[in-house]
């Protein structure tokens, strides 16, 4: 019976076509699993709706390309569904190009499929591939650029340089990290055919390589500049509020711990860093991971700068890692393949490293309860047990069982993360939709995620109702004096921003409860109340 199960499992992943089909079915299954979107998603959607009218919002801090793509929404198509569809297209396109990139660097058919499965089931990449965010479109540009750079290594010409420059420009217009991608591409071209070796780097030889590749670097840089000029003319990127957000972050031991734990477990595969570190430090310059990094200098620079940026910008951990997850997957598979070919003989240091990873995994989640490490305690316990089983099969050198349980763990990890957060902001969304359908007049709210604004002002459900965020409400001040200054007809009060909020509605005669929306999620109560403001009843 067990041998039959192994045969079935082997046949399922024998063909790439089945992996492609699994990727599509999985994403279609998860297409509408989320009750609502993240706050940034609604800002992107608002920008897209403004672009349809020929205006780009002055207050929008993000670059415009993703919103421009969303602005192509056909008349009559729901904006949320269209946005999710666009992200799915980018996800599938990323998967296709990633497959081609993998084939360039991993020669074994078996391990090519291993890489595709790791990419498909990666918890972070999967989570953000079903959200209307720009991370997956940006990741697509990174994969395409380095795939083309690798493919054209021996035949780069001016036309190809222009295409790479255009792609780099579009990546910058998708996310500001595109400047890092452009710089890494630039360095990658310098090292492409100039004879430069990263292992023998010297400033003098670098400038020689720069001069040698100038005929490609100039058209690349000029094309990128031409793509960016219209946006720069409209708005200086240095004026974006993005660059001031990290000023409010405190760098302490907790942040450093969360950062490195996120980095260690970003692939949803506990031995990830163990294999890579073993490859780098055990095999030294002959290791496949080292060779990959040495031969693909652009990718090496890109990974390094992204890792530094994410540490500097910790608020977006682990989401920002999605840009470099595809390259981590390749490094992991190359390292694991060499681990198997050299004979998986474990030493004392190997056991210590694996014990540290499993121990830190449990301790990190016990202390911080990170979202992508599975915040539900029972789901986490199941995933934790799976990790122990995976390590046991690794130690026993049972590769098929090791891989099978790794895939099961990845699937459970990814789906559990999505499932636990599928109802995030649902009370605010349900209240906003109800208000848009059933109320008329002026509504104020303390929602900071843009959900109420979208459904009251942008969705077109009801033109007789409109709303505005009232910052005083965010500070819990719902006194008659404060509210009457805005003269609203209704108020939407939510604790989605802070579950510790208490408003004491029953003690305020000028507020009448119209409808309440309450949900218990992961043991916490989230609510949004729709209140009628009785202007004649002062406290």
DSSP state of 457: I
Give the contacts of 350 (CB within 8 A, at least 6 positions apart): 274, 278
d(CA 464, CA 455): 12
Q: 3-class secondary structure for 411-456? A: HHHHHHHHHHCCCCCHHHHHHHHHHHHHCCEEEEECCCCCHHHHHH
pLDDT at 7: 57
DSSP state of 421: T
| Among 374, 366, 294, 373, CA closest to 331 | 294
pLDDT at 193: 67
pLDDT at 10: 56
Answer for the pair 353, 346: CB distance below 8 angstroms, yes or no. no
Query: The tokens of 403 are what?
Result: 């891989």
Kindly report the average pLDDT of the chain as a whole number. 89
The domains located in the chain, with CATH, are: 2-420 (no CATH), 426-533 (3.40.190)
Q: Give pLDDT < 70 ranges for the chain.
A: 1-14, 193-212, 238-249, 283-285, 344, 472-476, 537-539
pLDDT at 191: 85
Percent of the chain residues topping a pLDDT of 70: 89
pLDDT at 6: 58
d(CA 188, CA 361): 35
pLDDT at 28: 98
pLDDT at 422: 93
- Helix, coil or strand: residue 386: helix
- Helix, coil or strand: residue 526: strand
pLDDT at 244: 60
Answer for the pair 354, 277: CB distance below 8 angstroms, yes or no. no
pLDDT at 236: 76
Strands (E), 393-462: 441-445
- Helix, coil or strand: residue 491: strand
pLDDT at 344: 64
CA-to-CA separations, 474 to 262, 431, 477, 487, in angstroms, rounded: 31, 17, 7, 17
């Amino acid at each position: 019976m067990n041998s039959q199960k192994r045969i079935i499992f082997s046949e399922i992943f024998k063909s790439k076509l089945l992996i492609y089909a699994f990727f599509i079915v999985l994403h279609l299954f998860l297409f509408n699993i989320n009750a609502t979107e993240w706050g940034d998603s609604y800002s992107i959607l608002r920008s897209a709706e403004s672009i349809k009218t020929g205006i780009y919002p002055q207050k929008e801090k993000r670059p415009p390309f993703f919103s421009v793509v969303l602005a192509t929404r056909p008349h009559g198509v729901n904006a949320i569904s269209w946005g999710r569809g666009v992200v799915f297209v980018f996800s599938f396109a990323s998967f296709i190009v990633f497959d081609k990139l993998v084939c360039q660097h991993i020669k074994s058919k078996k391990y090519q499929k291993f890489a595709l499965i790791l990419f498909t089931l990666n918890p972070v990449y999967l989570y953000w591939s079903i959200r209307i965010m720009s991370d997956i479109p940006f990741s697509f540009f990174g994969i395409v650029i380095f795939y083309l750079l690798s493919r054209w290594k021996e035949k780069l010409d001016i036309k190809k340089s222009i295409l790479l420059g255009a792609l780099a420009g579009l990546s910058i217009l998708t996310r500001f990290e595109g400047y890092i991608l452009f710089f890494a591409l630039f360095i990658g071209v310098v090292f492409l055919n100039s004879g430069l070796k990263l292992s023998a780097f010297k400033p003098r030889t670098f400038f020689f390589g720069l001069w040698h590749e100038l005929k490609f670097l100039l058209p690349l840089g000029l094309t990128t500049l031409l793509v960016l000029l219209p946006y720069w003319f409209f708005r200086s990127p240095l004026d974006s509020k993005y660059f001031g957000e990290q000023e409010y972050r405190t760098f302490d031991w907790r942040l450093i711990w969360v950062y490195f734990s996120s980095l260690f477990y970003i692939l949803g595969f506990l031995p990830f860093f163990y294999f890579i570190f073993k490859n780098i430090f055990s095999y030294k310059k002959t290791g496949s991971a080292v060779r990959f990094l040495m031969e693909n200098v652009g990718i090496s620079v890109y990974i390094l700068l992204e890792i530094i940026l994410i540490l500097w910008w910790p608020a977006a951990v682990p989401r920002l890692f999605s840009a470099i997850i595809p390259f981590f997957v390749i490094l992991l598979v190359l390292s694991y393949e060499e681990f198997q070919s050299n004979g998986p003989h474990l030493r004392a240091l190997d056991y210590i490293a694996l014990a540290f990873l499993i121990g830190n995994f449990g301790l990190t989640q016990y202390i911080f309860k990170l979202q992508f490490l599975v915040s539900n305690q029972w789901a986490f316990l199941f995933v934790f047990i799976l990790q122990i089983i995976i390590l046991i099969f690794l130690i026993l050198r049972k590769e098929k069982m090791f891989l099978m349980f790794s895939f099961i763990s990845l699937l459970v990890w990814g789906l559990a993360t999505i499932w636990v957060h599928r109802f995030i902001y649902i009370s605010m969304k349900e209240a906003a939709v109800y208000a848009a359908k059933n109320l008329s007049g002026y509504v104020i709210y303390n929602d900071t995620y843009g959900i109420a604004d979208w459904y009251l002002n942008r969705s077109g459900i009801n033109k007789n109702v409109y709303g505005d965020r009232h910052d005083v409400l965010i500070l819990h001040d719902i006194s008659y004096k404060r509210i009457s200054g805005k003269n609203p007809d209704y108020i939407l009060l939510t604790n989605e921003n802070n579950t510790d909020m208490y408003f004491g509605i029953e003690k305020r005669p000028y507020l009448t409860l119209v409808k309440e929306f309450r949900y218990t999620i992961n043991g916490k109560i989230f609510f949004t109340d729709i209140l009628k403001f009785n202007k004649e009843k002062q406290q």
